[in-house]
Amino acid sequence: MGFIVKLTKADGSNVSQKEMDSLYLSDLQFRPLRKKKEIIDGKVHIEGHSSPVIIHAMMPVMDYGYIWVTADNQGEGYSKEDTEIDFVREAAMTRLVEIQNILESYGGELSSEASAHISACEEYLQLAEKKHGDKAYEFYHRALSHGLWGGELALFERSKAYKRSNPVFMLGCAAFGYEPGSDYAARFEKTFDLATLPFYLKEALKEEKRGYPNYDWVDKILAWCKEKGIRTKGHPLWWNHVASTPEWLMDVDWETMKKECIRTVKRSVERYRNDIQIWDVVNEVHDWSNLNPISQDQMIEITRIACDAARESNPDATLIVNNCLPFGEYVSQGLEAIKCNSNLKEDRPLFSPYTYLEALFENNVEFDVIGIQLYWPTRDMVSISRLLDEYLKFGKPIHITELGICSGDNHTDWADPQSKRTRWPLDHYLYGDGIWHAEWEWTEKIQADWLEQFYTMTYSKENIEALTWWSFYDPGYVPLSGLIRKDGVPKESYYRLHAFRDFIQKRINSQRKEH
């Protein structure tokens, strides 16, 4: 026995087929569930499930954006007994409970703007509950919008007031664009204290022939970082993806893969054991981008092999297991970035990053830090904060290893020119089809707002110890995600990051005086 979810627009009409298709369930730890669903008469019918669950759907939110929205029955999750759920109503009520949790967890006064949004959310819910005809739909939408704004402002303001005790908080960036004497180099050293260096076998080390890597690119960046006193991190030691795998490593058998993993990991860590102490040892090993067909047991084993090889080569190194798509939306639709696992059953459960990490802990795989990528995470900031709290429960430090947020209209072709939605559908990248704090497109100001809110929120979480923005200059891995335009002109986000650095330093100085 399942339940029915109703998703409506503010005028009471149904949302689009695409938005209904996006709907999925997760457990209360945000682990996605594979469940069959049907759309009948504009409502989503979902098969029976293990309770309690959270409902997720991507949809437009009035005066806010086009994002993933969640409803969780005010923190309790939905059970088998629930029958029909008005998603927008439930999502608005969820936000009020989340806001209350924020207010109970952090001290300090709220701004008048935050308080006004929270009051508006409460009152619009009350108006909707009085069933003002078709106006009820509009009031529920307005309540949700104000709840999202109010929750984010409360989180941002309370996070800013938080007094962090852990002094470790590195601000990093991929340093791939370094050239001696360049404007890039001058701005980089003034902005970041952690530089990511490239170790991709194919594109960086250019190991076209087995056993003949070229470390010139790495050595050039490393020499500059040592001169400027910038800490360095190597990325990635093992990534079995088409972007990193040379021809001689494609389609190898399992025994060969293990041997090559040990050989290539040990080689790089030993070479730089005196200079690089932080490593993204494996990258995206969970069910997302493995080029060669391996089972989930083998995913765990290759992670163990890589981490053990790195530890043997440098016992003092900090070893990171790096993961992408932390909400794991792809699991709900049974998707993989590279569909090469033809030897596996189509209906087998997929590893989300969270369940992959659970498996590593259950199998006693030794590593030091959980790495999380956040490219274009079109969720409200409160949802992102809640997800990070779940990962923090593992008890290990977290590094946000890769960040990329768009700053403009970067699309060259549209799936739907009338609605101006992105060319990347939900069944592809899953993180590219949303807009935060805008109706149509990202802007440089929205990028800067996102950066400031996210950096401030993560600074208030004691065990998050590093943030790495990926693309310093445009065009960027995520198009237009650089902090500086292609012509060398800084964006607002660049200055916001510098202001954030100043905020951290002032907070550290103030706490030193108090002690």
Domains and CATH numbers, the chain: 3-161 (no CATH), 170-514 (3.20.20.80)
CA-nearest of 286, 408, 283, 281 to 335 is 286
CA-nearest of 8, 6, 83 to 44 is 6
Could you tell me which residues come within 8 angstroms of residue 386 by beta carbon, excluding any fewer than 6 positions away? Answer: 30, 98
**Contact between 97 and 118 (Cβ < 8 Å):** no
Distance CA 496, CA 494 (A): 5
Q: Are strands 32-33 and 65-71 parallel, antiparallel or unpaired?
A: unpaired
CA-nearest of 35, 24, 147 to 91 is 147
Hey, what are 110's tokens?
């709220």
Instruction: Give this prediction's pTM.
Output: 0.94
Strand partners, 170: 466
Strand partners, 85: 5
Hey, what are 43's tokens?
């409502």
Q: pLDDT digit of tens for each residue in the chain (515 aa)?
A: 578 999 999 999 999 998 999 999 999 999 999 888 889 888 999 887 777 999 999 999 999 999 999 999 999 999 877 689 999 999 999 999 999 999 988 767 899 999 999 999 999 999 999 877 678 999 999 999 999 999 999 999 999 999 999 999 999 999 999 999 999 999 999 999 999 999 999 999 999 999 999 999 999 999 999 999 999 999 999 999 988 999 999 989 999 999 999 999 999 999 999 999 999 999 999 998 888 889 999 999 999 999 999 999 999 999 999 999 999 998 988 877 665 554 445 567 899 999 999 999 999 999 999 999 999 888 999 999 999 999 999 999 999 999 999 998 754 333 333 333 333 333 333 445 689 999 888 999 999 999 999 999 999 999 999 999 999 999 999 889 999 999 999 999 999 999 999 999 988 887 777 76
